[in-house]
């Protein structure tokens, strides 16, 4: 009888081990899939930017520095190799796009241009899709990271090199979380 109990315990341990390993593989693949969805939306954004810049160029020829900054930021974002690099590059690109829209505010005829309006709306929709995809990616990364940290899963994670994954955060979010100091002292 003790022999059968020992066999049953060993079988349960092996089944748990297989289940835990497969769970890691599934979650890692979900993270990769979630990143692919973010990447699709970022590529869509990159494709819209040259059209937007060219439309603005027609009205604001003397804003050359802004256009160069956007082109440079877009190139850096497209060539980012890691999640951390992508986060930093996307923050820069978002900042340069804000500058472009600020330039557009100075040209009423540009703001009335149907092509500019359409591109601006497409970019806004794409930004929303990026935010949604990024949130889904970060949620999936959170599940994966928690799973590799909890006992006894952390043993299997260590044995098979399942490492913590990076979140996709933008620098502007960090600034938004900083506490704002309000001072009503008028002296």
Higher-confidence residue of 5 and 101: namely 5
Distance between CA atoms of 27 and 5, rounded to whole angstroms? Answer: 33
- Both tokens of 156, joined, read 């299997």
Q: How confident is the model at residue 116 (pLDDT cuts 50, 70, 90)?
A: confident
- Both tokens of 140, joined, read 């999936």
Q: How confident is the model at residue 172 (pLDDT cuts 50, 70, 90)?
A: low
Higher-confidence residue of 187 and 148: namely 148
Q: How confident is the model at residue 29 (pLDDT cuts 50, 70, 90)?
A: very high
175 CB-contact burial (10 Å; exposed 0-12 / middle 13-18 / buried 19+)? exposed
Distance between CA atoms of 161 and 113, rounded to whole angstroms? Answer: 54
Q: Tens of pLDDT along 69-104?
A: 888 999 999 999 988 899 899 989 988 888 888 888
Beta carbons of 54 and 63 less than 8 angstroms apart? no
List of domains in the chain: 2-177 (1.20.1440.20)
Helix axes 83-105, 2-59, angle to 10 degrees: 30
Q: Tens of pLDDT along 33-76?
A: 999 999 999 999 999 888 888 888 777 777 778 888 888 999 99
- Give me the pLDDT at residue 180, please: 39
Q: Is 169 helix (H, G, I), strand (E, B) or coil?
A: coil
Average pLDDT over residues 138-150: 94
Helices (H), 79-152: 83-105, 108-112, 114-149
Average pLDDT over residues 8-19: 92
Among residues of the chain, what percentage have pLDDT more than 90? 47
Higher-confidence residue of 25 and 59: namely 25
pTM of the predicted model, to two decimals?
Answer: 0.77
Write phi, then psi, for 122 (nearest 5 degrees): -65, -40
Higher-confidence residue of 166 and 55: namely 166
Q: How confident is the model at residue 18 (pLDDT cuts 50, 70, 90)?
A: very high
């Amino acid at each position: 009888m003790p022999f059968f109990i020992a066999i049953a315990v060993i079988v349960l341990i092996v089944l748990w081990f297989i289940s835990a390993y497969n769970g890691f593989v599934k979650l890692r693949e979900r993270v990769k899939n979630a990143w692919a969805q973010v990447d699709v939306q970022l590529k869509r954004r990159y494709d819209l930017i040259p059209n937007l810049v060219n439309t603005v160029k027609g009205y604001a020829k003397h804003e050359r520095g802004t256009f160069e900054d956007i082109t440079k930021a877009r190139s850096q974002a497209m060539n980012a190799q890691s999640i951390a690099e992508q986060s930093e590059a996307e923050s820069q690109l978002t900042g340069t796009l804000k500058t472009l829209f600020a330039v557009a505010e100075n040209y009423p005829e540009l703001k009335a241009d149907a092509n500019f309006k359409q591109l601006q709306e497409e970019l806004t929709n794409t930004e929303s899709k990026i935010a949604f995809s990024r949130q889904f990616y970060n949620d999936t990364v959170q599940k994966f990271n928690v799973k590799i940290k909890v006992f006894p899963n952390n043993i299997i994670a260590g044995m098979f090199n399942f490492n913590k994954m990076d979140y996709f955060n933008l620098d502007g979010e960090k600034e938004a979380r900083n506490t704002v100091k309000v001072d009503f002292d008028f002296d």
